[in-house]
Chains A and B, each alone.
Chain A
Amino acid sequence: DADVTQTPRNRITKTGKRIMLECSQTKGHDRMYWYRQDPGLGLRLIYYSFDVKDINKGEISDGYSVSRQAQAKFSLSLESAIPNQTALYFCATSDRATYNEQFFGPGTRLTVL
């Protein structure tokens, strides 16, 4: 079984809709992250959380919000989706004991029409 899972794997939605992407992990890590990947831009950090009560904005948080429901669950929401949020979204986890090596989920491909 995968250590970091993301649901859904693919989603097509319309402009203005609210979307939630979910991430779960069984690695026991305290740190979780959301990234988006766009061609030619690499991965950019949206939000990160070092524990359940600690949530921080990344470099591109506008238009997104997150919820850390438990140590193992970290959800990303798009309150009102727009076409330029079409991208591949990755969740990742890490543990400070391993120099913050991050473990990635399989990704969610989101298309906003």
Chain B
Amino acid sequence: AQSVTQLGSHVSVSEGALVLLRCNYSSSVPPYLFWYVQYPNQGLQLLLKYTTGATLVKGINGFEAEFKKSETSFHLTKPSAHMSDAAEYFCAVTPYNQGGKLIFGQGTELSVKP
């Protein structure tokens, strides 16, 4: 069965520091990959997605992620953290042959210190 693993349930960075949130998936074929963000008391909002083509994907709010097939990874990065980036982040995959369903990782809560 497909699965998604996010390394670290909590990540804390200082304002201005690099943000790196890790995501690995298990799949025999490349799936579609997504990162969602959830701000307190809100629903999930799409940050970025990889479907086909360029493996470095840019999203909203300065985030980007790189699909690495050989490592089955889709890590999320942002060069300089802002206080407003504090939220929970979810990596998700759509299995290639099960169109429509999303499988989510357990989430990573990002804290940003002043």
Contacts and interface: CB of A to CB of B under 8 A. Distances in A.
A96 interface: yes
Interface of A, helix, strand, loop or mixed by DSSP:
strand
A92 B94 CA distance: 14
The 8 closest A-B pairs by CB, nearest first: A104-B43, A42-B104, A104-B44, A42-B106, A99-B51, A43-B104, A106-B43, A100-B94
Interface of B: 4, 9, 32, 34, 36, 42-46, 49, 51, 90, 94, 99-102, 104-107
Contacts of B42: 106-107
Given A40-B9, A106-B43, A100 B100 contact: yes
A94 interface: yes
B34 A101 contact: yes
Contacts, number: 57
A101 to B, nearest CB: 6
Contact of A48 (B9, B101, B104): B101
A91 to B, nearest CB: 9
A107 B90 contact: no
A45 interface: yes
